[in-house]
Amino acid sequence: MATELLLMENVPNLGNEGDIVNVADGYARNYLLPKGLGEKVTAGARARLAKLMEQRAEERKLQLAGARALAAKLAKASCTITVKTGEEEKLYGSVTNADIAKALSEQDIEIDRHIIVVEDPIKELGVFDVKVKLHADVDATVKVWVVGE
């Protein structure tokens, strides 16, 4: 037997929020319904989903506005990281996204180190443009100065 459910959230390999899917009774009863990932198709469930999608759209709009404001702030910012160097100005190690996040936090710009994208390890002195992934639609670039002691 199959149960028809209205998905309340995105479920990998099954469907997206708002989709009506047919699933096995046990999968619905033991996984989707207890976790709140789906509800039986009723007028009330459709109304709750519509309200939920409206709230999430408003949250996404606020997150996007916040990300754009932070991107504008990051565009004006630059950070200097002082490192120890050896012969021929080679770094001992490399400059990581954690180092960049720490340098930005000293300027009162708090961002998670996981959203800083360092494509190639920074292993030399100089000026680098580092990408920061703030939102699915918003990227920013920070100028990073790597100087020796």
pLDDT for 62: 95
Q: The domain containing residue 95 runs over which residues?
A: 67-148
Structural Rg of the chain based on CA atoms: 23
Tell me: do 79 and 49 sit in the same domain. no
**Which CATH number characterizes residue 30's domain?**
3.40.5.10
Average pLDDT over residues 12-41: 92
Boundary residue ending a domain (14, 38, 66): 66
Q: How many domains, the chain?
A: 2
CA–CA dist 149, 147 (Å, integer): 7
Tell me: do 96 and 125 sit in the same domain. yes
Q: In the structure, what pLDDT confidence band is assigned to residue 133 with cuts at 50, 70 and 90? A: very high
Question: Is 80 exceeded by the pLDDT of residue 89?
Answer: no
Tell me: do 26 and 72 sit in the same domain. no
What is the DSSP secondary-structure string of 75-119? Answer: HH-EEEEEE-B-GGGEEEEEE-HHHHHHHHHTTT----GGGEE-S
Q: In the structure, what pLDDT confidence band is assigned to residue 121 with cuts at 50, 70 and 90? A: confident
Tell me: do 104 and 36 sit in the same domain. no
pLDDT for 120: 84
pLDDT for 65: 94
Boundary residue ending a domain (66, 81, 110): 66
pLDDT for 117: 92
Tell me: do 107 and 129 sit in the same domain. yes
Residues 90, 124: contact at Cβ < 8 Å?
yes
Helix (H) or strand (E) holding 55: helix 43-76
